[in-house]
Amino acid sequence: DAGVIQSPRHEVTEMGQEVTLRCKPISGHNSLFWYRQTMMRGLELLIYFNNNVPIDDSGMPEDRFSAKMPNASFSTLKIQPSEPRDSAVYFCASSLFTDNSPLHFGNGTRLTVT
């Protein structure tokens, strides 16, 4: 089991540029989550999918953020245009859709927007 795979590990971009973060969940997991982690706000859930369908995107900060899951093995989180306050570590996690199923996190993408 390769675990949840995220790319890139680090991303440095200038304000105004488009950023795309990628995630491959664990095979067989039917739920996928995008979290953002900052010192100020901790671990925040941005959006989650069940069976490739977005279930709750209430955590997406604003329209500059969008996420897709075109199939069971791939998801993207896009920020367009990016702003310095978007700098954070973005984690993707996957799980089976039950409340006692643990979240398996990827290694995260550290985004820096200058």
- Whole-number Å distance between alpha carbons of 2 and 94: 12
Among 43, 83, 84, 85, binds other proteins (CB under 8 A): 43
Could you tell me the smallest distance in angstroms from the CB atom of residue 50 to other proteins?
6
Calculate the alpha carbon distances from 9 to 2, 5, 36, 96, 103 in Å. 16, 10, 14, 25, 19
Q: How many residues bind other proteins (CB under 8 A)?
A: 22
Binding part of the chain for other proteins, among 21-29, 40-48, 63-71, 73-81 by CB under 8 A, reads: 40-48
- Among 48, 77, 82, 109, the residue binding other proteins under the rule CB under 8 A is 48
Judged by the rule CB under 8 A, the positions of this chain that interact with other proteins are 31, 33, 42-43, 45, 48, 50, 55-56, 91, 95, 97-100, 102-108
